[in-house]
Amino acid sequence: MAEVPPHLLERSRSRRAALGLGGDDAVAAVPAVVTTATAAPAPASAVAALATGGGSPPPPTPPKAVRPHRPRRPAIPRFALPMLLLLPVWAISYVSVFAAQKEKLVGPEAVGTAVYSVNCSRCHQPDGSGSDSGGVGRPLWKGEVEKTFVSEAEQIAFVKRGSYAVGTPYGNPKREGGQHQAKGGMPKWEGALTDDEIKAVIQYERSVLQGKPFPVDTVAPGPAPAKK
């Protein structure tokens, strides 16, 4: 092999390189150029991103911007907080109201109160004043009903039966102010009301309408212990 002067070799290399040719290097050079050309954009942008945003900011920044907002959206609105805080209070009162109602509704006092209100007050007035305040029925307040009927049992018998024939004396013969004489108009309640209801309403009349507490002690829990 003849010696080629170094400057010719150099010119040939540069020439080949300019034409894209080459000896052994040419094959490797072309793919190398291609890979660099195709791969260039990605590394370039990555480098640019790294250069502008630094190493970690790009990925963590979007999550950081979103994360604080996501918990806030489902968070409880401020106006709802007092209501939520009062929820246990409401629950307790809700339950206690039903407990109280249940207690009252099963008691004879409630039965007597309800029976009087529904069946008797329209003629005897809600306060028992009766004809003293324009009612059709006799006054049952201020001890009047207890003067007529010395015992609860006598009153029960009268209320079950209703008015006697007009002019018939009834109740306590030694009544203060004279024995009552039937004038009519008092309905018969036997059959319309149960024995328990009649007993309860009469106890109501002899206690609550007289300004006294309902006789809880004397109230029979059921029909069995009722004294007659």
Residues that bind ligand HEC (CB under 6 A): 119-120, 122-124, 136-138, 140, 144-145, 148, 155, 158-159, 163, 171, 180, 182-187, 189, 201, 205
**Please, what is the minimum distance in Å from the beta carbon of residue 216 to ligand HEC?**
19
Output the smallest distance, CB 192 to ligand HEC, in A.
8
Residue entry with tokens 């319309």: 192
Distances (CA, A) of 178 to 145, 173, 184: 13, 7, 18
- The CA distances from residue 112 to 4, 127, 142, 201, in Å, are 134, 14, 18, 4
Contact (Cβ atoms closer than 8 angstroms) between residue 12 and residue 23: no
User: Shortest Cβ distance from residue 81 to ligand HEC (Å)?
Assistant: 52
Contact 141, 212 (CB under 8 A): no
CA dist 124 and 126 (Å) reads: 7
- Shortest gap between Cβ of 157 and ligand HEC (angstroms)? 10
- Closest distance to ligand HEC from the beta carbon of 106 (Å): 20
**Phi, psi angles (nearest 5°) of residue 85:** -70, -30
